[in-house]
């Protein structure tokens, strides 16, 4: 939250006067894993951590008792969700 406020204040000081709040339906369900991994890798150098994140992304989900592999998107509400958001 503090980072968002700092960013908004910084942009306001640069002359920006409008803020757009948007919710892109299904965004986190459809973002390609390589984009997520590239973003995480730009901040995290530890290969072990990157491996854990990748395993988290491809771990799959259970829907109505049926396992479905995940090839895109990021799970929501998990322990890594704040990092991946």
83 lies in some domain: no
Q: What is the residue range of 40's domain?
A: 24-75
pLDDT grade for 82, boundaries at 50, 70 and 90: confident
Q: How far apart are CA 44 and CA 28, in angstroms?
A: 20
63 lies in some domain: yes
41 lies in some domain: yes
Q: With contact defined as beta carbons under 8 Å apart, do 58 and 69 qualify?
A: yes
Report pLDDT for 39: 93
Q: Where are the alpha helices (DSSP H) in the chain?
A: 2-13, 27-30, 33-41, 47-57, 81-84
17 lies in some domain: no
80 lies in some domain: no
Number of domains in the chain: 1
Model confidence over 25-80: pLDDT tens digits? 888 888 999 999 999 999 999 999 999 999 999 998 889 999 999 999 888 887 88
5 lies in some domain: no
Report pLDDT for 37: 94
Q: How far apart are CA 38 and CA 57, in angstroms?
A: 13
């Amino acid at each position: 939250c503090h980072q968002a406020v700092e960013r908004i204040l910084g942009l306001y000081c640069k002359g920006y006067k409008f803020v757009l709040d948007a919710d892109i339906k299904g965004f986190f369900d459809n973002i390609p894993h390589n984009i997520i991994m590239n973003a995480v890798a730009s901040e995290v150098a530890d290969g072990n951590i990157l491996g854990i994140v990748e395993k988290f992304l491809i771990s799959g989900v259970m829907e109505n008792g049926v396992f479905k592999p995940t090839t895109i998107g990021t799970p929501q509400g998990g322990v890594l969700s704040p990092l991946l958001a």
